[in-house]
Amino acid sequence: DYIHPLTRAWLQACQQAGLPYNPDFNSGSQAGCGLYQITSKSGRRSSAATAFIKPARKRPNLDVRTGATVTRILIEKGRAVGVEYLSLGRRFVVRAEREVIVSAGAIATPKLLMLSGIGPADALAGHGVNVIADLPGVGQDLQDHIEISLIYQLNGPHSYDKYKKLHWKAAAGLNYLLFGGGPASSNLIEGGAFWWGNKDEALPDVQFFMVVGAGIEEGVEAVPGGNGCTVNLGQIRPRSRGEVTLVSANPADNPRVAPRYFSDHADLEAVTDGTMAALDIMEKPAMTRYVSARHVPLAAMKSRDQIRQFCLQTAHAALHPAGTCRMGQDEGAVVDPRLRVRGVDRLRIADASIMPTLISGNPNAVCIMIGERAADFIKAAA
């Protein structure tokens, strides 16, 4: 896959700042800077749907239904027997021969369980939901990575921003069509690093992403002149915990999501330290040759107190929610080590909600692994 020259320059700046080059973040030693491993094939992003569902579409035992909203899990005599869903305004029921597997994510999965009577009994009863299994951990322990974006104005067309212009866009498209590579095959976040915010931690607790462009993410502004780059960073082992709760028994109502970012002050301090480190990297010679100005935060912001306040005001979710139906063997756990929901037979969960602790990095590959592990358990039980 294509690696932009500015990514390589940023990695050089990291090494000038004292971060070692790490050729493999998954080697068992995460510290340092390097290129990210991504799920791609032939220059295109390979999602779980592309890699797993598409090759199996012709199998007689697979039926994919889109435009459908599952409203509850059907439970009879303590056993999951199917699901109810709505499609085009009509109600449908699908019966399960063996098991029901929920894989709706850390927000929708606890919502579905609670609508089905699985969750904290008092809260469910308060919404008029018939309690099937009193599991107080459903919806609790919500965890997410929190991120900061630093934006820089460049002194020339040194980033992917230049491909916003039609002739450069056409050149990139032609390169991809003819050779299957070039800028159009990039994932835009090619390089990054893992390092310490809290020096007392045994392992790195801050992750950095070099984004070779400015204003390419929703809500992140462009820069004067149109050519820029962004450094994203996030605290990857958050101590703060939130929750997902019902607002009513109506499946059409979104749940109440209270992430409670920075409710543990240590998270804010780690992000502040990480931001100070990122600012230092961007001051190294390998990057200053390309940078004309710091756009966000303002160049006048230099002290730790100013940067802490900047982080508090501008931090945004990494959208890696996890933990709301966590695995374990204690009373607060929702699923056991084989991903079976406690108190309900023939019901499993296979998504990020089962993580007891959010992983120290991007969760995409781990979510795929959870699905593969669940498949092993299901086959073993058959």
Residue 244, pLDDT above cutoff 70: yes
Give the pLDDT mean for 52-77. 94
Number of domains the chain is built from: 2
CA angle 44, 47, 48 (to 5 degrees): 150
**Would 305 be classed as within a structural domain?**
yes
Does 59 reside within a domain?
A: no
282 and 198, same domain (yes or no): yes
Residues contacting residue 171 through CB under 8 Å, at least 6 positions apart: none
Mean pLDDT to the nearest integer, 9-15: 98
Q: Tell me whether residue 52 is in a domain.
A: no
Question: Quick one: pLDDT at residue 39?
Answer: 87
* pLDDT score for 374: 96
How high is the mean pLDDT of the chain? 94
When pLDDT is averaged across residues 81-93 and rounded to a whole number, the result is 96
pLDDT at res. 215 = 66
Question: Where among 317, 344, 362 does a domain terminate?
Answer: 317
Residue 375's CATH number: 3.50.50.60
Burial of 77 (0-12, 13-18, 19+ CB in 10 A): exposed
CB atoms within 10 A of CB 35: 18
* Confidence label for 266 from pLDDT (cuts 50, 70 and 90): very high
My answer on whether 28 and 118 are in the same domain is: no
145 assigned to active site: no
**Same domain for 89 and 133?**
yes
- Which pLDDT value is given to residue 216? 60
Q: Output 71 or 180, whichever has higher pLDDT.
A: 71
- The whole-angstrom separation of Cα 298 and Cα 106 is 36
228 and 275 fall within a common domain = yes
Look at residue 278 in the predicted model and tell me its pLDDT. Answer: 97
| 97 plus 162 within the same structural domain | no
The HSE-up count of residue 46 (CA atoms within 13 Å, CB side) is 15
Mean pLDDT of 300-312: 96
242 DSSP assignment: B
**Separation between Cα atoms, residue 209 and residue 28, nearest integer Å:** 20
pLDDT digits (tens, 9 = 90+) for 173-231: 898 888 888 888 888 899 999 999 888 899 999 999 999 999 666 666 678 888 999 99
Residue 349 resides in a domain: yes
Burial of 88 (0-12, 13-18, 19+ CB in 10 A): exposed
Shared domain check, 291 and 151: yes
73 pLDDT more than 70: yes
Instruction: Indicate whether 28 belongs to any domain.
Output: yes
pLDDT of res. 221: 62
Residues 297 and 232 in one domain: yes
pLDDT class of 308 with cuts at 50, 70, 90: very high
Residue 140 pLDDT exceeds 90:
yes
**pLDDT of 269 strictly over 70:** yes
Tell whether 253 is covered by a domain.
yes
Confidence at residue 42, expressed as pLDDT on a 0 to 100 scale:
77
Q: Which amino acid is at 36?
A: Y
Q: Please identify which of the residues 4, 145, 158, 320 carries the catalytic annotation.
A: 320
Q: What domain range is 352 assigned to?
A: 65-138+321-381
Structure token digits, residue 339: 């991903």
Both 120 and 97 in one domain: the answer is yes
Q: What's the number of CA atoms in the CB half-sphere (13 Å) around residue 310?
A: 24
For residue 234, the domain's CATH number is 3.30.560.10
